[in-house]
Amino acid sequence: MECPRCHSNKTHKYGHQRGKQRYKCNECGRQFIEVKTERGYDEKTKLLCLKMYLNGMGFRAIERVTGVHHTTIIGWVKKISLRLKDVCCFTLINP
């Protein structure tokens, strides 16, 4: 389980909270509950979609390959482009 604060994988199970598994990070000490990523897609699927987008694939093409709805992908791209706004090669193309 990855720590939501420092993204370390050095975490361990740390009891339960409201029936959910709780974890504690060995690196920064943060306690967190296992969370599902937004709309049920996991981090690997999200990264795959973003990689396809960065390689010039259109949103609807990515949707056909991965099965992720294009509006979800657009949301991810918008979110990540805010973080990557200083990266000159990254341009947000409007669908």
* Interface with Zn ion (CB under 5 A): 3, 5-6, 8, 25, 27-28, 30
57 with 73: CB under 8 angstroms?
no
Angle (CA) 28-81-34 rounded to 5° is 35
Residue type, 64: R
Q: Residue 13 Cβ, how far from Zn ion at the closest point, in Å?
A: 15
Taking a C-beta distance cutoff of 8 angstroms, is the pair 33, 24 a contact? Answer: no
Tell me the CA distances in angstroms from 20 to 4, 30, 33, 44, 87, one per residue in order.
Answer: 16, 16, 7, 23, 38
* Complex with Zn ion: residue 5 or 60, whichever CB lies closer: 5
Query: Which residue number, 43 or 86, has a Cβ lying nearer to Zn ion?
Result: 43
Nearer to Zn ion, 7 or 60 (CB): 7
Nearer to Zn ion, 7 or 51 (CB): 7
Rounded to the nearest whole angstrom, what is the least distance from the CB of residue 23 to Zn ion in the complex?
10
Separation between Cα atoms, residue 74 and residue 78, nearest integer Å: 6
Kindly state the smallest distance separating residue 28's Cβ from Zn ion, in Å. Answer: 3
CB 44, min distance to Zn ion, A: 20
